[in-house]
Amino acid sequence: MNSNTISRLRAAVRDIPDFPKPGIVFKDITPILSDRALFKESIDLFVDACADLRVDKIVGIDARGFLFGAAAAYKLGAGFIPMRKKGKLPYQTAGMAYALEYGEAEMELHVDAILPGERIVLIDDLLATGGTAAAAIKLIKAMGGELLSTLFLIELEFLEGRKALQSQNICSFITF
């Protein structure tokens, strides 16, 4: 990882106070997405992290994980699988529920998205508390996928989301 690249990407992340609710500081990545050089460099980080893994498919978490995951899958010559919130996929699905601060949510994949033994990398834009990614990891493994790595553009270390993942191969490029 080029420290100059990481510094430039980190500097482009915009803080939005009190979004989506009071007390939350949202990390806005749209400045990275809209800058052709930064967007390319962010995708290159994901691709470089997967270079020696012989990836079959990338799973991208709804919705910003789609942006990074699909582009990385294309560059790696791998398939791409969208993992969506419950009720958003049109075909038969398998799901995994997880706890939220107030209630529960569920992530889903198409039942035929992952074949047993396929080599999978999970990609999302942000690791916060880890609930969504932990559910994604459990679902990938339940479907028979071999999880090679879990990659995030940003990690909010103070929320300790890594603890929820129980995975050895976690990489975040930018930390706050």
Instruction: Give catalytic status of residue 64 as yes or no.
Output: yes
Catalytic residue among 14, 84, 101, 162: 101
3-state secondary structure the chain: CCHHHHHHHHHHCEEEECCCCCCCEEEECHHHHHCHHHHHHHHHHHHHHHCCCCCCEEEEECCHHHHHHHHHHHHHCCEEEEEEECCCCCCCEEEEEEEECCEEEEEEEECCCCCCCCEEEEEEEEECCCHHHHHHHHHHHHCCCEEEEEEEEEECHHHCCHHHHCCCCEEEEEEC
Instruction: Give catalytic status of residue 54 as yes or no.
Output: no
The C-alpha atoms of residue 112 and residue 168 are separated, in whole angstroms, by 26
Cα R_g (the chain), whole angstroms: 16
Catalytic residue among 41, 64, 108, 118: 64
By annotation, the residues acting in catalysis are 64, 101
